[in-house]
Amino acid sequence: MAGAAAGAAVASSPAIAAPEERALTRIAFGSCARQDKPQPIWDRVNAWQPELFIFLGDNIYGDTEDMAVLRAKYQMLAEKPGFRTLRRNAEVIATWDDHDFGVNDGGSEYPKKAESAAIFLDFWGVPEGHSRRRPEGGIYGSYFFGPEGRRVQVILPDNRTFRTPLLGYSVEPEDKGQYVVNPDPDATMLGQAQWEWLEAELRRPADLRILASSTQVLPDAPGYEAWINFQADHQRLLDLVDFAGVENLLIISGDTHYAELSRLETRMPYPLYELTSSGLTEVWPVFGPNRNRIAKAPLMPNYGRLTINWDAPSPGVLMEVEMLDGSIGISHAVKLADLKQPTGR
């Protein structure tokens, strides 16, 4: 594969689907997969036969400044039988989070971000000359699938490369262990260049657009890492949906080691939904704070899935989380007609 670093495993897959090819109906996604653990969740994923799988970050647990160690950990993922089956049968795209970026809860301060990005892009088969290989850094990108009228846009922001360092933990007893919200208007999740790119992407026509964020967007209480840690950027994203007239938007996310569904209606032009799936191997013992949570799944490994019904009288998306035991932990249907800006704007 073009751009592959020596000694690095390359997770090859079919070419990215051109817009004129058949419409997607089954999209799966997940996050938080330790490469040194068994990964039986792939049996569930592969049985569902997704056409596209989106990796949302912590795809390995790299946590190193030694790039030889990072490559070796990617090699462990590449050798997983279930992962190999997925790559043979489905299109796969990916973004990263802190652990495959290289440091827990890290951002722009990580000194090996350029080297880590090169290994990431090589492993996921992003060719030389692709727009995701920028001299200035950042692995953000977007992809389109399906013909006009059934076109799906997947937007993959980079929540690490340009992110302002976290302020640290709250010292208040009731908030102990939770990150402080940064009120500085200059503190950022994305950086200005990526913001300009994101606004342009959200203005492109799509019949369904999926913002695939490595960290959660809609949870509104400070706690674990999330967009809310950066108050100005969090509000900027919500304002952008409104002021740019963005329609047909669903959000998916990972990172948390539990699965939940969030909905935000207050001061929004239409309800925003976010389905969080985490983790493929990792499980947290409790749920974090989230006043916008409307459903949560059992605490066990899981993956998320979107079933798109284009042929219904009113096309829609069934948002689900399947658990390791085969049960459906979350199920919620949304009509695309309900993801529209109000008429007469």
Whether residue 19 lies inside any domain: the answer is: no
Whether residue 114 lies inside any domain: the answer is: yes
Q: For position 22, what pLDDT does the model report?
A: 83
Inform me whether the pLDDT recorded for 222 exceeds 60: yes
Residue 41 — pLDDT band, cuts 50, 70, 90?
A: very high
Domain with residue 68: its CATH number is: 3.60.21.70
Residue 4 — pLDDT band, cuts 50, 70, 90?
A: very low
Of 315, 296, 255, nearest to 279 (Cα)? 255
Number of domain units in the chain: 1
- Region 247-262: mean pLDDT is 98
Whether residue 148 lies inside any domain: the answer is: yes
Whether residue 41 lies inside any domain: the answer is: yes
Percent pLDDT > 90 in the chain is: 86
Asked if 284 and 258 touch (Cβ cutoff 8 Å), the reply is yes
Query: Residue 6 has which token pair?
Result: 């020596």
Q: Kindly report, residue by residue over 93-118, the tens digit of the pLDDT.
A: 999 999 999 999 999 999 999 999 99
What residues contact 203, with CB distance under 8 A and at least 6 apart? 244, 245, 246
Q: What are phi and psi of 213, to 5 degrees?
A: -95, 135
Identify the domain containing residue 135 by its residue range.
26-338
Residue 174 — pLDDT band, cuts 50, 70, 90?
A: low
For the full predicted model, state whether its pTM sits above 0.85.
yes
Whether residue 343 lies inside any domain: the answer is: no
Asked if 194 and 290 touch (Cβ cutoff 8 Å), the reply is no
Q: For position 15, what pLDDT does the model report?
A: 41
Whether residue 20 lies inside any domain: the answer is: no
What residues contact 155, with CB distance under 8 A and at least 6 apart? 142, 198, 201, 202, 209, 210, 211, 212
Q: Euclidean distance between the first and final Cα of the chain, in Å?
A: 48
Query: Residue 345 has which token pair?
Result: 């704007």
Inform me whether the pLDDT recorded for 196 exceeds 70: yes
Whether residue 228 lies inside any domain: the answer is: yes
Inform me whether the pLDDT recorded for 143 exceeds 50: yes
Whether residue 160 lies inside any domain: the answer is: yes
